Amino acid sequence: MSAQSAHEAAPGDTAGDAMPDAMADASAELAAIRLSIDNIDAALVHMLAERFKFTQKVGRLKAASGMPPSDPERERAQIARLRQIALEAQLDPAFAEKWFNFVVAEVIHHHEQLATGAIATSSSAPSSAPGDAS
């Protein structure tokens, strides 16, 4: 199942060497899984970057039209939807909700700064900060 370790068993090896080989196998398997995790993390960061482009746009729109930075009804609907998607994908819905609330909190903080003028509202403003949750 895992990649063969560099630590090959010599002919005649007995149970005495089984543990080091098992450890080498576990290390090789861990390294392989980590490559997949790294790929997924790169995808997640890119998706987050794309999400924040949209939420920054929402933040500027809300600030320019005087809408409040947060929208509790929208957030409730988002949480219910994401919990359902998590369930179907076999992810703990409680984790999905906690994760979403973390992202939203960052974003509302940014909106409040936009609303109070602490951040420029023009589209040429630096785009490095998170935008809007909802």
Binding site for its own copies (CB under 8 A): 22-23, 26, 29-30, 33-34, 36-38, 40-55, 57-58, 61-62, 64-65, 67, 74, 78, 81-82, 85-86, 89-92, 95-96, 98-100, 102-103, 106, 127-130, 134
Among 119, 99, 95, which Cα is nearest to 109's?
119
- C-alpha count within 13 angstroms, C-beta hemisphere, residue 114: 32
Amino acid at the residue 97? E
Nearer to its own copies, 11 or 40 (CB): 40
SS3 label, residue 123: coil
Q: Which two tokens stand for residue 29?
A: 């398997």
Nearer to its own copies, 14 or 65 (CB): 65
In whole angstroms, the minimum distance from the beta carbon of 11 to its own copies comes to 25
